[in-house]
Structure 1
Amino acid sequence: MYGVDFTADSRQHTLAPFLALQHPAPPHGRQFQKRISWVEQNRRVILSFPSIPSLCFCLFTSFGARTRTKFRIPKRSPASVRMAVQEASENHWQVAKPVSNSKKLKRKKKRVKMSLVKVSRPSASEGISPRTAKYWYHRYSLFSRYDDGIKMDEEGWFSVTPEDIAVRHAERSGTGTVIDCFSGVGGNAIQFARRCYHVVAIDIDPQKVELAFNNAKIYGVEDYIDFIVGDFFQLAPFLKGDVVFLSPPWGGPTYSTIDTFTLDLLKPKDGYSMFQVAQKITHNIIMFLPRNVDLNQVEELSWLSSPPLNLEIEDNYVESYLKGITAYFGDIAWRSPT
């Protein structure tokens, strides 16, 4: 037994009733317990220890009022270990005891009422195929009055101009007669009719013309549109109008896989031939083209006329997503929306 004594404070000390301390596990992993016997006699304290290392550890921890004891909190949960401090009087020693994880505060579980929401899905009667199903989920951006009886075929789902962009085209066209050379299911023709005096809607597919007429009735503008089944290139010499709108087929959804879309990929003829035919009607031309089109080629179109036409290129977004670009030629370039 090794003896150590020190002079106690003038005030009477009441020794804490703890007789055992849990020490960290030794290197070999076994845990042991050091028992400390306190004997206070004649203002001298005798401490008995089994070994000198234990004596040094106890002397260091016994002056708890003057030193800090750090406890390592498990990484798995910073709040999983709580410390309970047993305090005596002002100058008394303090002992920190780890509290078991089982004594956690019980949290009341809130019951959340869940309501089932019916998810609508496309049906075959709407002309939806696996190829066009993704467009169906954006149907209200194509036609805001879709639920009132709008009809489209498979090609119409990925070729119709979104309504917000069609409205923009109509605002820039003015109030004269507009010739929609590839009207499809009527997305642009309907918006032109709502703001212009007269619209000539041309498409070579009789089914699309029938669908466009049905959709125009839903918007109440069928009386302002002349629907014509025919080939634009054959009808062009007989047409007269203030604005020509060109939104030819882009070749299907695969156009987006091309790094640079060139004008020769447009259908049914290349963009240069199409533009020259439109120029014979009027020099005020609107072209709605893919977002990845070669802009240098678009600029070249303005030089096909003498003198060169004014040109304005506009990016068209729907819900922060770039859908395409619109080129305005002639007097409607840089025109304020009406």
Structure 2
Amino acid sequence: MPPAEDSSVNSTTTRKQRKRFKRKVSIKVKRIAEKTKKRKEKANVTPLVTKYWLQRYDLFSKYDVGIKLDEEGWFSVTPEVIAACQAGRCAGAGVVIDAFAGVGGNAIQFAKVCSRVIAVEIDPEKVALAIHNAKIYGVEDCIDFIVGDFFQLAPFLKGDVVFLSPPWGGPSYKARQDFTLDLLKPKDGHSLFQAAQAITPNVIMYLPRNVDVLQVSELSWLSSPPLDIEVEENYVRGRSKGITVYFGDIAFQ
């Protein structure tokens, strides 16, 4: 006569099998949800920004955590590795003013290494996105977001560094052989630099890779004596993305 089966062993085995089955189902559901989410995200990406969506992790390494961008944000946000490099130059600075904050890419990186960031953006919808993105990176308490026009606010702002990344006019800037400062928006580069210089001589400008560097270097002569200047070409994955120009004490002498 065969020995009786141990019911406790069978019960334990059954529980393990159920747990294993539930775990497999949970993983499968999660994967399906992730694929569905990505399909929906891609479906909402317009043809204009499709190639930028493919570079989303270069723009925000935490993109999958819930980063949000509007259409303009896709092609105007500074790639994260470049923004981090620009912020690193200001490490330990008291207050950094981000004059055209957009969806918050640069402000987030400045907030990681500086005491305070004043992020100015004229579009309230972009400010809402920037606040959301700053929360994802855990730096929202280090940033003062202001909805307004930098040129109107500049006389009342105080800071140690001013960061300028004004609109380049959209992706069409690439078609120009030489990008001149008068093509910047909402005002030309000279007016922009003078507004920033009235706050502090320590200015950072992020400009198109095809910008007229000689023209940019002449901005240093708007100060007396002329400001120190450093021009840095920025790359992501071996591709040139833009030019960063440092003025004042943050330029390597």
State TM-score, norm by structure 2.
0.83
| Whole-Å separation in 2 of the counterparts to 1:220 and 1:233 | 29
1:300-321, Cα deviation, whole Å (9 max, x unpaired): 1000000000000001000000
1:148 aligns with 2:65: yes
Determine which structure has the larger helix proportion and give its number: 2
CA drift of 1:128 comes to 1.5
Q: Which amino acid aligns with 1:257?
A: A
Name the residue aligned to 2:76.
159
User: Which residue of the other structure, out of 167, 170, 177, is the alignment partner of 2:95?
Assistant: 177
Name the CA shift for 1:122/1:248 in 2 (closer, same or farther; >3 Å): farther
Within 5 Å, which residues of 2 pair with 1:259-338? 259-334=177-252
Q: CA deviation at 1:150?
A: 0.2
Letter in 2 for 1:143: F
Cα distance change, pair 193–177 in 1 and its aligned pair in 2 (3 A): same
Q: Check whether the contact 1:201–1:228 (CA below 8 A) recurs between aligned residues.
A: yes
Closer, same or farther: CA 145–126 of 1 in aligned 2, 3 Å: farther
Gaps of 5+ in 2: 1-34
Structure 1 residues 126 and 171: alpha-carbon distance in aligned structure 2, compared to 1, 3 A threshold? farther
Task: Tell me how large the CA RMSD over aligned residues is.
Answer: 1.7
> Once the two structures are superposed, what CA deviation does each residue of 1:253-302 show, in whole Å capped at 9, x if it has no partner?
00001000000000000000000010110000000000000011111100
Matches of 2:137 and 2:101, distance apart in 1: 16
Asked which structure has the greater RCO (Cα within 8 Å, sep 6+), the reply is 2
Unaligned 5+ segments in structure 1 are 1-117
Farther off after superposition, 167-176 or 119-128: 119-128
Q: Give the C-alpha shift of residue 165 in structure 1.
A: 0.1
Give the whole-Å Cα distance in 2 for the aligned partners of 1:288 and 1:331: 17
Asked whether the equivalents of residues 127 and 154 of structure 1 are also in contact (C-alpha less than 8 Å), the reply is no
1:234: which partner in 2?
152
Q: In terms of Rg, which structure is larger?
A: 1
In structure 1, distance between residues paired with 2:195 and 2:220: 14
In the TM superposition, 1:209-248 aligns within 5 A as 209-248=127-166
Cα distance in 2 for residues equivalent to 1:273 and 1:232: 12
Distance 2:196 2:163 in 1: 9
- Tell me what 2:107 maps to: 189
Residues 57-76 of structure 1 aligned to structure 2 (within 5 Å): none
Residue by residue, what CA displacement relative to the aligned partner does 1:136-188 show, whole Å, maximum 9, x if unpaired?
01100000000000000000000000000000011001322100000000000
User: By how many angstroms is 1:124 displaced?
Assistant: 5.6
CA 1:125–1:223 in structure 2 vs 1: closer, same or farther (change >3 Å)? farther
Give the Cα separation in 2 of the matches to 1:322 and 1:184: 21
Runs of 4+ in 1 over 2 A off after TM superposition: 118-127
Q: How many residues align?
A: 218
TM-score (normalised: structure 1): 0.63
